């Protein structure tokens, strides 16, 4: 179906997208929105006001699954009221056959099921639903090629996500992502640089490069030369207009000395790294298939800090992985103390059907998991509070995201080190880089005032 024909069927329709999960999903939703806008659709704030609702799902933990089914249940009423309403579900959950089967059998009001590899086909599927009054389930197991040139409706005018690669080859034994996102594929470096130059021309100041493991980026350029992740950073650092480069996520096993040097050489690369450790116990790391041990991780942190003394570091930690003993958990607490994280995301281990760890026999009882989780969160929060308190009196460059949700006279933004800052200011500052004097460091954010 061509774009004009799709436009004929979709022009003027109102859509609403509900997004669960990580930045990959957020960015996929931006692409879905971009494609719909291109065909004359307009976004509305709630499913009840929409003609088309799209739920972009995440499967990383069980509570993500539960939230999805709860939300899906609510769409039934809208469909009953409005028979022309189209309910669509996509994202990581839809890459699992048992979930597709459940949706089809228990939620018959769903019109379109699509996956993570065929987002570009969504306008055509939607047009078919309107044109031919049919229901569609189309999910590809993996993507043959990367589809370039899709539009995106960005959440912010001044910052943007940029996918540099798709998929994951690591098969950490707890994780569903390699099954829902397929194998690693890197975009060509020119495609990435062109996209970022275009964003810069459009006023974007900060880009966040996305990949499940950006350190294993291997892109081939037009001359056949292979670029690694550090090469790409050097390339982006040369693009005028871009002021900040961030990336998510970087796997410790592949973090190169060349990337650490890029922090030193590239002014635009923010002095911040999210470096998921998952556990501080060598036994657990081995069973997670993470391919590094605590010594190597601590060495990496040491190298980063020697090269970039003011670097801020955050992490992900899983509590209660199968077989985790109190001693293993103590090793995690010890590692957290040794690193001194600025912040950390902590997760209770969640069994994911189809992953190796789901079959491990020595699952940790729920009460033990929760008790360890609370102890870890206390330690991490105390560490964050201490780190943030040390910012008092410092002047930080803040890229302003806009008014805070709670108070329109308070602006929020991020420091180079990715710390959230609130300060009194006016909405005109949105999208600008300002100097903020930090007046208070709290556990999860900083407070400040515009520096004179
Ligand atoms: N690719 C990224 C992680 C993406 S998932 C990386 O490897 O760094 C984000 C985080 O979710 C992971 O770092 C991990 O801490 C957590 N996670 C993944 N699977 C999980 C599971 N089954 N139970 C609990 N937490 C999990
Ligand atoms: Fe999951 Fe591991 Fe891949 Fe991250 S690196 S997405 S945790 S399998
Ligand atoms: Fe969730 Fe898929 Fe991201 S499982 S965390 S949305 S890659």
Query: pLDDT for 169-190, tens place per residue?
Result: 999 999 999 999 999 999 999 9
For the segment 97-111, the average pLDDT, to the nearest whole number, is: 95
Confidence (pLDDT) at 57: 97
Residue 281 lies in a domain: yes
How far, in Å, from the CA of 56 to the mean position of ligand 3? 10
Residue 150 lies in a domain: no
State if residue 172 touches ligand 2 by the CB under 6 angstroms criterion.
Answer: yes
How far, in Å, from the CA of 22 to the mean position of ligand 3? 5
pLDDT digits (tens, 9 = 90+) for 21-46: 999 999 999 999 999 999 999 999 99
Residue 20 lies in a domain: yes
Residue 149 lies in a domain: no
| Angstrom distances, CA of residue 336 to CA of 68, 179, 383, 389, 444 | 33, 30, 9, 18, 17
Confidence (pLDDT) at 98: 94
The answer to whether residue 452 scores a pLDDT higher than 90 is: no
Same domain, yes or no: 281 and 359? yes
Q: What is the value of pTM for the model shown?
A: 0.96
Pairing relationship of beta strands 420-424 and 446-450 according to DSSP bridges: parallel
Q: Which atom of ligand 1 is nearest to the CA of 168?
A: 1
State if residue 216 touches ligand 2 by the CB under 6 angstroms criterion.
Answer: no
Mutation to probe ligand 1, out of 171, 175, 321, 363 (largest number of atoms < 8 A from CB): 175
For the segment 293-312, the average pLDDT, to the nearest whole number, is: 98
Q: Which atom of ligand 2 is nearest to the CA of 290?
A: 2
pLDDT digits (tens, 9 = 90+) for 132-167: 888 888 898 888 789 999 999 998 999 999 999 999
Same domain, yes or no: 134 and 7? yes
How far, in Å, from the CA of 227 to the mean position of ligand 2? 22
Same domain, yes or no: 45 and 109? yes
How far, in Å, from the CA of 149 to the mean position of ligand 1? 29
The answer to whether residue 2 scores a pLDDT higher than 90 is: no
The answer to whether residue 1 scores a pLDDT higher than 80 is: no
How many domains does one find in the chain?
4
Confidence (pLDDT) at 143: 80
Confidence (pLDDT) at 448: 98
Confidence (pLDDT) at 323: 97
- Pick the last residue of a domain from 345, 361, 389: 389
How far, in Å, from the CA of 176 to the mean position of ligand 1? 9
Residue nearest to atom 10 of ligand 1 (CA): 316
How far, in Å, from the CA of 353 to the mean position of ligand 2? 15
Residue 425 lies in a domain: yes
Same domain, yes or no: 207 and 263? yes
For all residues of the chain together, what is the average pLDDT? 96
For the segment 404-426, the average pLDDT, to the nearest whole number, is: 96
- Pick the last residue of a domain from 336, 356, 389: 389
Same domain, yes or no: 164 and 257? yes
Share of the chain above pLDDT 90, in %: 91
Domain of residue 378 covers 273-389
- Pick the last residue of a domain from 270, 288, 318: 270
State if residue 175 touches ligand 3 by the CB under 6 angstroms criterion.
Answer: no
Q: How confident is the model at residue 125 (pLDDT cuts 50, 70, 90)?
A: very high
Q: How confident is the model at residue 83 (pLDDT cuts 50, 70, 90)?
A: confident
Q: Which atom of ligand 2 is nearest to the CA of 289?
A: 2
């Amino acid at each position: 179906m061509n774009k004009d024909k799709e436009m004929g069927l979709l022009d003027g329709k109102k859509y609403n997208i509900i997004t669960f999960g990580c930045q990959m999903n957020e960015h996929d939703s931006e692409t879905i929105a971009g494609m719909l806008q291109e065909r004359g659709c307009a976004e509305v704030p709630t499913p009840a006001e929409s003609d088309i609702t799209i739920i972009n799902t995440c499967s990383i933990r069980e509570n993500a699954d539960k939230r999805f089914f709860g939300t899906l249940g609510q769409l039934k009423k809208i469909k009953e009221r409005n028979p022309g309403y189209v309910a669509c579900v996509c994202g990581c959950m839809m890459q699992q056959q048992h979930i597709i089967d459940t949706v089809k059998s228990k939620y018959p009001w769903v019109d379109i099921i699509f996956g993570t590899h065929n987002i570009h086909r969504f306008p055509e599927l939607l047009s078919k639903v309107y044109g031919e009054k049919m229901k569609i389930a189309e999910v590809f197991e993996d993507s043959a090629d990367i589809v370039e040139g899709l539009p995106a409706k960005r959440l912010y005018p001044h910052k943007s996500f940029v996918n540099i690669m798709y998929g994951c080859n690591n098969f950490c034994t707890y994780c569903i992502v390699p099954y829902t996102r397929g194998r690693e594929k890197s975009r060509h470096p020119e495609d990435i640089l062109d996209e970022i130059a275009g964003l810069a021309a459009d006023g974007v100041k900060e880009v966040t490069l996305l990949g499940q493991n950006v350190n294993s980026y291997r892109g081939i350029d037009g001359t056949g030369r292979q670029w690694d992740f550090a090469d790409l950073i050097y390339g982006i650092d040369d693009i005028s207009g871009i002021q900040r480069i961030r990336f998510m996520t970087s796997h410790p096993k592949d973090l190169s000395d060349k990337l650490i040097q890029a922090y030193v050489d590239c002014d635009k690369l923010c002095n911040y790294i999210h470096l998921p450790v998952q556990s501080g116990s060598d036994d657990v790391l081995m069973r997670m298939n993470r391919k590094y041990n605590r010594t190597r991780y601590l060495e990496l942190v040491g190298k980063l800090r020697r090269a970039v003394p003011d670097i801020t570091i955050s992490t992900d930690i899983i509590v209660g992985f199968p077989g985790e003993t109190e001693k293993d958990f103590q090793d995690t607490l010890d590692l957290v103390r040794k690193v001194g994280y600025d912040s950390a995301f902590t997760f209770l281990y969640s069994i994911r059907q189809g992953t190796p760890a789901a079959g491990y026999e020595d699952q940790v009882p729920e009460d033990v998991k929760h008790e360890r989780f609370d102890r870890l969160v206390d330690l991490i929060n105390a560490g964050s509070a201490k780190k943030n308190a040390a910012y008092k009196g410092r002047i930080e460059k803040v890229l302003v995201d806009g008014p805070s949700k709670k108070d329109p006279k308070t602006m929020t933004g991020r420091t180079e080190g990715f710390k959230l800052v609130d300060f009194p200011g006016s909405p005109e500052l949105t999208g600008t880089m300002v100097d903020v004097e930090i007046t208070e460091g709290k556990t999860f954010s900083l407070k400040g005032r515009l520096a004179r």
